Amino acid sequence: MTYLKEYQHSIIKPLVYFDVFNFPLNEDELFLYSNGASMSRSELQEHLAALLDKRTVYQLGDFYALQDDKAMVEIRKEGELRASKAKKNAEKKARLIGRFPFVRGVLISGSYSKGILGKDGDIDFFIITEPNRLWVARTLLVFYKKAILLNSRKYFCINYFIDSENLQIEEKNRFTATEIITLMPMVNAELYEQFYANNDWVLDYYPQADRLETNNTQQLKKRRLGRFMEWLLADRFGEWLDTRFMHMTFKRWQRKFGHMTDENFTIAMKTSRRISKHHPSNFQSRVLNQYQQKLQSIENLI
């Protein structure tokens, strides 16, 4: 690949990836998501202009996309407005989750962490727990969601847990790299920084990326009930209970999602003492498949 094509290719990749979501990017985002580590801002503008001339890329006001569709910009702006309105609710729920027993860190992922919220979108929380108490923490949070929130997940989607001694994400691909660099740290800045340091492999995909500011991140103290439950479950009984909750949940998932192939189930419903992933739609695989198909179809145009 020539020098010219290499840089243009590095611009195309994030546009292709976000095209899966019909999400146009502005110039700052293109620079962040570009995998051309040595590309300056002026070089980005130069190669972007060449792609615009070839009509491989389209400019939609302040945004760029692979589709000449201004409706994408309006949809994005509407999503940004909804996200802005949901800000206080998201912060409130993050604080609430952070006070639960054995929860050590809370981050927001998904579309909200990219600054938008769909009409029927929810706020996804990425939760870091005390080692060997992940399933206790998860079970308590799920019980709260079902019993108190009546199983509403709009502002309380808790589908990914890891523990504080297992901070590196196993799946290393563009989907997980994008999620990691856009995670919004809400509770425990120090733990977030440790998490980011343990996942520096994301720089292979996004060399321009850096950890997010943690100015608004809180360090919460557990309330009396939380401290009491942590004390009560600190011994072997807590160890047994954590294992028991994991096995019960895994068996329930096996029954409920028995239609999934073993490979998809392993990826989408990852279950161990150190990780819990509940993604029954296997969104990651669907996005990566669409990304590869779109990328192959456009590579010959540059």
Domain boundaries along the sequence of the chain? 3-76, 86-229
Handedness of CA 293, 265, 173, 20 (dihedral sign): positive
- CATH, domain 3-76, list 1.10.3470, 3.40.50, 1.10.10, 2.40.50: 1.10.10
pLDDT of 176-186, one tens digit each? 999 999 999 99
Q: Which residue has the higher pLDDT, 33 or 217?
A: 33
Helix (H) or strand (E) holding 184: strand 184-187
Rounded Cα distance, 102 and 47, in Å:
49
pTM of the full predicted structure?
Answer: 0.92
Contact 186, 108 (CB under 8 A): yes
Q: Which pLDDT does position 51 carry in this prediction?
A: 92
Residue 55 tokens read as: 């009509």
Q: Which pLDDT does position 1 carry in this prediction?
A: 43
Q: pLDDT > 70: what percent of the chain?
A: 95
pLDDT of 235-286, one tens digit each? 999 999 999 999 999 999 999 999 999 988 998 999 999 999 999 888 999 9
Looking from the CA of 32 toward its CB, the CA atoms found within 13 Å total: 14
CATH 3.30.460.10 fits 86-229, yes or no: yes
Residue 46 tokens read as: 């130069």
Mean pLDDT for 20-45 is: 88
Residue 22 DSSP one-character state: T
* pLDDT over threshold 60, residue 3: no
Same fold? 3-76, 86-229: no
Angle between the 3-19 and 174-182 helix axes, to the nearest 10 degrees?
A: 80
* pLDDT over threshold 60, residue 2: no
pLDDT of 65-118, one tens digit each? 999 999 999 999 999 999 999 999 999 999 999 999 999 999 999 999 999 998
